Amino acid sequence: MQRWPVVLFLAWVCFLFFAGIGLFMSGFLLTRIELASSSSCSDPLVPPLWERQSLPPGSCWAPQRFSKAVLVIIDALHFEFARFDPAKASPLPYENKLGVLHQLATSQPRHARLYRFRADPPTATMQRIKGLTTGSLPTFIDVGSNFASYAIQEDNLLAQLVQNGRRVVFMGDDTWEGLFPKKFFRSYFFPSFNVKDLHTVDDGILQHLYPTVDSGEWDVLIAHFLGVDHCGHKHGPDHPEMAKKLTQMNEMLRSLVDHLGNDTLLLVAGDHGMTETGDHGGDSEKEVNAALFVYSRTPLFGSGPPEEPETIPQVNLVPTVALLLGVPIPYSNIGEVMAELFTGDSDAVSAALQQLSVYHINAKQVDRFLQSYSLVAQDLPAEQLQHLQELFSSAVEEHTQLLTQVQGTTVPPELKPRLGSLISRFQRYLREARAVCTQSWARFHPLRMVGGCILIASSCLLCYVASELAASSQSLCRSCLLYPLFWGPVGAALLWLVHVFTQEGLDLLLVSSWAAAASQLGFFWHWWGQHLKRARLTGSQPPLASGGLRQRLQAWLGLAFPMGILVFRCGAMFSDSFVVAEARVAPFLLASLVMLLVGKLHWDGHLTVPEGPKQQLLGISSYRREIWYLLCLVAMLLVCVRLSSFFHQCREEIPQCRPSIFLSPLASLRNTRAKNLFYLLCVALLAGLVYAVQSWLRHYGNLNSSDPLVLFVRWGFPLVVLCIACYWAVASSADDSLGKLQELVQVAVVVFPRAVYGLASMGLLLLLCNPMTVFAKDTRESAGSIVTPYLGVPGSEVDFLHVIPQIYKRMQESQKSRLERGSCRATVAAYGLGSVYSAALVIALTLLGFLLMLLHSERLSFAFLLLFVEAFVLLHIHTCARGLAGDAELFSVPWYAVISWLLAASQFFYSTGHQPIFPAIHWNAAFVGFHLDHSTNLLPAVLVGANTFASHILFAVGCPLLLLWPFVCEVSTSQRKKPKKESREELQEVEEHMMEMRLRESPEEFSTALLRLGLKYLFVLGAQLLACVCAAMILRRHLMVWKVFAPKFLFESLGFVVSSICLLLGISLVMRVDCAVSTWFSQLRLR
pLDDT, the chain, mean: 81
Report how far residue 47's alpha carbon sits from residue 395's, in angstroms, rounded to the nearest whole number. Answer: 13
Express the helix, strand and coil content of the chain in percent, nearest 5 each. Answer: 65, 5, 30
Q: How confident is the model at residue 147 (pLDDT cuts 50, 70, 90)?
A: very low
Pick the residue with more confidence: 757 or 555?
A: 757
Q: Which of 721, 836, 823, 727 is nearest to 772 (CA)?
A: 836
The pLDDT, as a whole number, for residue 862 is 94
∠1069-1075-1078 over CA atoms, to 5°? 145
Tens digits of residue pLDDT in 635-694: 999 999 999 999 988 887 787 888 888 888 888 887 888 888 999 999 999 999 999 999
Q: How confident is the model at residue 413 (pLDDT cuts 50, 70, 90)?
A: low
Count CB atoms within 10 A of the CB of residue 554.
11
* pLDDT > 80? residue 932: no
Tens digits of residue pLDDT in 526-562: 777 766 666 666 654 444 344 455 555 666 666 788 8
φ, ψ at 233 (rounded to 5°):
-65, -35
φ, ψ at 173 (rounded to 5°):
-55, 125
Contact status, residue 262 vs residue 91, Cβ threshold 8 Å = no
The pLDDT, as a whole number, for residue 453 is 95
* pLDDT > 70? residue 734: no
Rg (alpha carbons) of the chain, rounded to whole number: 35
| DSSP letter assigned to residue 33 | P
Report the percentage of the chain scoring pLDDT > 70: 79
* pLDDT > 70? residue 441: no
* pLDDT > 50? residue 418: yes
Tens digits of residue pLDDT in 356-407: 888 989 999 999 999 888 888 766 778 888 999 999 999 888 888 877 776 5
Candidate ranges 502-506, 681-685, 919-923; pick with highest mean pLDDT: 681-685
Pick the residue with more confidence: 188 or 1081?
A: 188
DSSP states along 723-788: HHHHHHHHHHTGGG--HHHHHHHHHHHHHHHHHHHHHHHHHHHHHHH-----EEEE---TT---EE
Contact status, residue 946 vs residue 852, Cβ threshold 8 Å = yes
The pLDDT, as a whole number, for residue 515 is 82
Which positions ≥6 away from 900 have C-beta within 8 Å? Answer: 562, 590, 593, 594, 874, 878
Contact status, residue 323 vs residue 361, Cβ threshold 8 Å = yes
Tens digits of residue pLDDT in 87-136: 888 889 899 899 999 999 999 988 999 999 998 877 777 778 888 898 88
Candidate ranges 746-750, 991-995, 1008-1012; pick with highest mean pLDDT: 1008-1012
Kindly state the average pLDDT of the residues 576-599. 91
* pLDDT > 50? residue 696: yes
| DSSP letter assigned to residue 960 | T
The CA-atom distances, in angstroms, between 1061 and each of 766, 946, 1064, 1085 are 21, 13, 5, 36
The pLDDT, as a whole number, for residue 810 is 46
Which residues in 562-595 are b (16+ Cβ under 10 Å) and which e?
A: bbebbeebbebbbebebbbbbbebbbebbbebbe
Kindly state the average pLDDT of the residues 289-293. 94
Kindly state the average pLDDT of the residues 932-946. 81
Across 434-443, 870-879, 978-987, 1053-1062, least confident range = 978-987
Kindly state the average pLDDT of the residues 621-629. 67
Which positions ≥6 away from 432 have C-beta within 8 Å? Answer: 387, 388, 391
Task: Give the distance between the most distant pair of CA atoms in the chain.
Answer: 129
The pLDDT, as a whole number, for residue 828 is 62
Across 326-340, 531-545, 557-571, 965-979, least confident range = 531-545
